[in-house]
Amino acid sequence: MDLRAAASHYSKALESVAQAKKKLAEVVIKYIIANGIDLGKCTELSISENLGLPRSTVRSILLDLVEEKVLKVSEYGNTKPYMLSEIGIGIALDWMGLSFTRAEVNALLASKEAEELKGMLVGSPLIFSEVNGKRIARYRGLAADQCLGTLIGRFFEYVEEGFYEKLRKAFGEKTLRELELLNPELIAFERLVAPPPIGEWAREKLQELDDNASPEDIRKIIVESYEKNLEHVIRELEKFAAVLEEMGYERLHKHFKGKAPSREVLIKGKSVPEYRFHDEYLWATTLALREGCKIGQKIGANSELLKEALLLAGVLDMALENRYRGAEAEGLSLMELGTRQLSRETSSSP
């Protein structure tokens, strides 16, 4: 009997099982992101029933994900829902190799709307209102909101590398490290100055108005402040576009390889994951930009500015998905190539 061959056979079988379990864990995480609005759908039994998996298999995966700090389990009476931990999505990206397609980012993380919403609801936000006599709920589930926030935050860490270099020049390396240690205090201060949910981009200017300000004055401040913030976002995305145009997809990823994010990170002793730039960071950011443009359309912001923002979002999405090689290799600028591809998509759609 060839024991070595037998050992190799069973070793490969175990690797196959481990790989299958990893894929199922990714499915469970995405299920919780998709259904996080209703905690009743995030119990062991509900996950088992809705995914068509044996309960014992689901239990094993959930326990592993809790142990790895990706998920946490809470108790609400007799219900024990599983939710993303505060750093869960970061752990899944860094240590598990979790990934999303562009279609998944948009399907899982976009704001949702329903005429009827029941269950143990927890949204961030969760808005109920009446439209044309019908009760409407608009929401983003808690897990989806956590995921969106992590991906966007990490994207801007890459884009704003130059900003941190300016801080180093201004304060010096020693003071900057000391300021980083004061991050808990910084967060506490940010809570003091956090704006209200309505008109947050114009809070300071609105507070300067007296009580007799006309509706036109108020609208003008809201629109101008919104446009100023939108212009800032466009400029930041253009910085990323310039790097992508110069380097191309592959070189850009090599350029950012090893850069450790600071948001929702887990450090396991001396072990360090292979940090890298994830395409999902951009796709979440452009999703948020498109959603933000809906606000601009509603308040009457400059239509050309909104058009510029939406075009840039579409071009960048497509560039990463198609692994744009850079202006020199493609023979076209990022905007030229992206505009052509978007035009072809539009003309071919029914």
- The per-residue pLDDT for range 314-346, each reduced to its tens digit, is 999 999 999 999 999 999 899 888 788 777 766
SS3 state of residue 272:
coil
Maximum mean pLDDT: which of 2-6, 191-195, 266-270: 266-270
Beta 112-114 vs 134-141: how paired, if at all? Answer: antiparallel
326 belongs to a structural domain: yes
Residues comprising the chain, all counted: 350
- The span from the CA of 202 to the CA of 195, in Å, is 9
pLDDT on residue 198: 45
319 belongs to a structural domain: yes
Q: Quickly state the pLDDT bin for 7 (edges 50, 70, 90).
A: very low
Which range, of 42-56, 73-87, 218-232, averages the lowest pLDDT?
A: 218-232
2 belongs to a structural domain: no
Q: Quickly state the pLDDT bin for 234 (edges 50, 70, 90).
A: very high
Alpha helices in 126-214 (DSSP H): 142-159, 161-171, 173-181, 183-193, 203-208
Name the region of 209 (left: φ>0; alpha: ψ -120 to 50; beta: rest).
beta
59 belongs to a structural domain: no
Q: Quickly state the pLDDT bin for 99 (edges 50, 70, 90).
A: very high
SS3 state of residue 51:
helix
pLDDT on residue 256: 92
% pLDDT > 70, the chain: 84
3-state helix, strand, coil in the chain (%, to 5): 65, 10, 25
Beta 134-141 vs 123-131: how paired, if at all? Answer: antiparallel
One-letter identity of residue 333: S
Of the candidates 279, 225, 326, the residue with the CA atom closest to the CA atom of residue 102: 279
| The pLDDT of residue 188 is above 70 | no
**277 φ, ψ to 5°?**
-80, 130
**Structural domains in the chain (count):** 1
Contact 33, 142 (CB under 8 A): no
Half-sphere exposure at residue 182, Cβ-oriented, CA atoms within 13 angstroms: 10
- What's the average model confidence in pLDDT over 193-197? 47
| The pLDDT of residue 38 is above 80 | yes
pLDDT digits (tens, 9 = 90+) for 278-313: 999 999 999 999 999 998 998 899 999 999 999 999
pTM of the model: 0.84
134 belongs to a structural domain: no
Domain residue limits at 261: 143-348
125 belongs to a structural domain: no
Q: Quickly state the pLDDT bin for 195 (edges 50, 70, 90).
A: very low
- What's the average model confidence in pLDDT over 264-280? 88
324 belongs to a structural domain: yes
Q: Quickly state the pLDDT bin for 12 (edges 50, 70, 90).
A: low
Cβ burial, residue 66 (10 Å; 0-12/13-18/19+): middle
Residue with the two structure tokens 């509706």: 215
Dmax (CA) for the chain in angstroms is: 94
92 belongs to a structural domain: no
Q: Quickly state the pLDDT bin for 84 (edges 50, 70, 90).
A: very high
| The pLDDT of residue 15 is above 70 | no
| The pLDDT of residue 239 is above 80 | yes
